[in-house]
C-alpha cells in the first residue's frame, strides 16, 4: 500500500501534548505518538495530525449478488457493486479475507467517491454500493463521502461490518446506509478478547444503535467448532437478537479451517441444532456455507408457505406478492421485491 494518494486527514481524533494524537473512531482509542500507526494499520500520526492511509484505495471490486453479503431480506435477486480496501481493527484468527484485512502490502488502485458512484450507476441490475470484503469502518471517511453521493443519486448503500465503531461516528454514517450485515463473532467477551482482539459489548451497542435508527439489519455468526458453538451460547445470542426484533434475520455460517485457525470444520449437526434453537425465537434463520435448501429458503412465519426458494445465489419468488404472503396475506419483513423472478407466480 505505497500509494500516497490514500492520505486523507481523519475525522475522529483528538490532539494531545507533544504532537501525540488519540483516535476516537473505534473502541480501541489508539494513542499514537509521531509516525505511529494504529492497530487497524491504516491510520497514522503524521506531523501531529491523524491521517488515513487508504482513502480511496481499492483492493477488491466486483458485482456481487446481494445474497452474498449475506442479505436475504434486502432486494433479493439484485446485484450490488462491491468494493473493499485494506486494514481491519480486529485480528481474527479465522479471518476469511486475511490477504487484505490483515495485511497492508497489497496492490490497490485509487478511485474517488465520484468515480465509484459513476461505476455503480453503469452496472446492470445494480441497486447500489456495498462496502465489504475488509472492514469498511477502517475506510470511514471514504465510505461516508461515497455513501453521501450515492444517496443523492438514488443508489442504496450496503455496509458489511464487524460493528466495531464508536457511537458518534456510527450515528453520523447511518443516515446514508440502507442495509447492514453485522458479524457477531460470538457471544462471550472471552472469545472477542482472545480470538478477535475486541470487545463484545461494543459490538452489541452498535447493533442496538442500528436497530433504533431503523436501518435494515441482518446478523451473521460464524460457528467455530468448540469455541462458540455450544447450545448455551447460541441460546444467549438468539435471545439478544430477538430483543432487536423477531424479524431480524440471523445467519449461522459454517466454519472451515482458515488463516491461523485449524479447528475442525463445524459439524452440520451443530449448525442444524443452532437453526432449531433460533427458530423458536426468530422468524427468519438461515445456514450458510452448506448446501441445504430448507435452511436457505424463506418461509412465511405465520402459515409456513415457501416464499423465497434459493439455490446458491439464484432466487425464485414462490409466494410473495407486494410484500405479502400469497397464501395468508401476512406482511413479510423484506425490503424490495422487484428484482425477483416471478415465473412461478405467473
pLDDT band at 341 (very low <50, low <70, confident <90, very high): low
| 321: its cell numbers | 406478492
pLDDT at 6: 83
Tell me which residue has cell 480470538: 195
d(CA 26, CA 3): 24
What share of the chain in percent tops pLDDT 90?
Answer: 84
Determine which of 105-119, 189-203, 206-220, 250-264 has the lowest per-residue pLDDT on average: 250-264
Q: Is the pLDDT of residue 2 over 80?
A: no
pLDDT, the chain, mean: 93
The reported pLDDT for the residue numbered 4 is 56
CA-closest candidate to residue 172, choices 143, 131, 129? 143
pLDDT in tens, 280-298: 999 999 999 998 889 999 9
Q: What is the per-residue pLDDT for 44?
A: 97
Mean pLDDT across the stretch 133-154?
97
Asked if residue 194 has pLDDT above 80, the reply is yes
Query: What sign results for the dihedral spanned by CA atoms 305, 311, 98, 62?
Result: negative
Is the CB of residue 193 less than 8 Å from the CB of residue 228?
no
150-178: average pLDDT:
98
Q: Which of 69, 68, 71, 100 is nearest to 84 (CA)?
A: 100
pLDDT of 3 higher than 70: no
Q: In the predicted model, is pLDDT for residue 108 greater than 60?
A: yes
Q: Measured between alpha carbons, how far is 238 from 254 in angstroms, rounded to an integer?
A: 17
Instruction: Look at residue 334 and tell me whether its pLDDT is greater than 90.
Output: yes
| Pairing mode of beta strands 216-223, 179-183 | parallel
Average pLDDT for residues 3-23, to the nearest whole number? 91
pLDDT tens by residue, 223-250: 999 999 999 999 999 999 999 999 999 9
* pLDDT at residue 32 greater than cutoff 90: yes
Is pLDDT of 1 > 80?
no
Predicted confidence band of residue 106 (pLDDT cuts 50, 70, 90):
confident
Give exposure, 174-207, as e/b (b: 16+ Cβ within 10 Å): bebbbbbbbbbbbbbeebbeebbbbebebbbbbb
- 57-296: CATH homologous superfamily? Aldolase class I (3.20.20.70)
pLDDT, position 258: 78
φ, ψ (nearest 5 deg) of residue 71: -130, 115
**Interatomic CA distance for residues 346 and 324, integer angstroms:** 16
Q: Confidence class of residue 134 from pLDDT cuts 50, 70 and 90?
A: very high
pTM for the whole structure: 0.95
Amino acid at each position: 500500500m505505497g500509494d500516497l494518494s490514500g492520505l486523507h486527514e481523519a475525522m475522529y481524533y483528538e490532539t494531545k501534548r507533544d504532537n501525540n494524537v488519540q483516535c476516537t473512531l473505534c473502541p480501541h482509542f489508539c494513542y499514537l505518538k509521531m509516525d505511529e500507526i494504529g492497530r487497524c494499520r491504516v491510520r497514522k500520526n503524521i506531523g501531529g495530525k491523524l491521517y488515513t492511509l487508504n482513502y480511496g484505495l481499492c483492493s477488491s471490486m466486483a458485482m456481487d449478488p446481494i445474497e452474498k453479503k449475506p442479505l436475504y431480506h434486502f432486494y433479493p435477486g439484485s446485484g450490488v457493486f462491491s468494493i473493499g480496501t485494506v486494514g481491519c481493527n480486529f485480528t481474527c484468527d479465522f479471518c476469511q479475507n486475511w490477504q487484505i484485512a490483515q495485511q497492508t502490502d497489497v496492490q490497490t488502485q485509487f478511485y474517488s467517491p465520484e468515480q465509484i458512484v459513476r461505476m455503480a450507476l453503469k452496472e446492470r441490475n445494480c441497486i447500489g454500493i456495498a462496502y465489504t470484503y475488509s472492514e469498511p469502518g477502517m475506510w470511514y471517511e471514504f465510505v461516508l463521502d461515497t455513501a453521501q453521493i450515492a444517496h443523492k443519486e438514488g443508489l442504496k448503500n450496503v455496509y458489511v461490518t464487524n460493528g466495531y465503531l464508536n457511537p458518534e461516528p456510527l450515528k453520523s454514517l447511518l443516515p446514508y446506509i440502507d442495509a447492514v450485515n453485522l458479524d457477531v463473532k460470538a457471544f462471550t467477551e472471552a472469545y472477542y478478547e482472545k480470538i478477535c482482539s475486541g470487545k463484545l459489548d461494543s459490538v452489541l451497542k452498535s447493533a442496538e444503535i442500528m436497530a433504533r435508527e431503523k436501518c435494515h439489519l441482518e446478523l451473521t455468526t460464524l460457528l467455530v467448532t468448540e469455541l462458540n458453538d455450544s447450545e448455551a451460547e447460541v441460546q444467549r445470542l438468539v435471545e439478544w437478537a430477538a430483543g432487536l426484533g423477531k424479524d431480524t434475520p440471523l445467519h449461522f455460517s459454517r466454519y472451515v479451517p482458515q488463516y491461523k485457525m485449524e479447528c475442525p470444520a463445524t459439524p452440520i449437526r451443530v449448525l442444524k441444532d443452532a437453526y432449531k434453537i433460533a427458530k423458536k425465537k426468530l422468524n427468519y434463520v438461515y445456514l450458510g456455507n452448506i448446501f441445504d435448501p430448507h435452511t436457505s429458503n424463506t418461509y412465511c412465519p405465520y402459515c409456513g408457505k415457501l416464499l423465497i426458494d434459493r439455490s446458491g445465489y439464484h432466487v425464485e419468488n414462490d409466494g410473495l406478492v407486494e410484500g405479502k404472503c400469497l397464501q395468508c396475506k401476512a406482511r413479510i419483513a423484506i425490503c424490495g421485491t422487484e428484482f425477483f423472478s416471478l415465473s412461478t407466480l405467473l
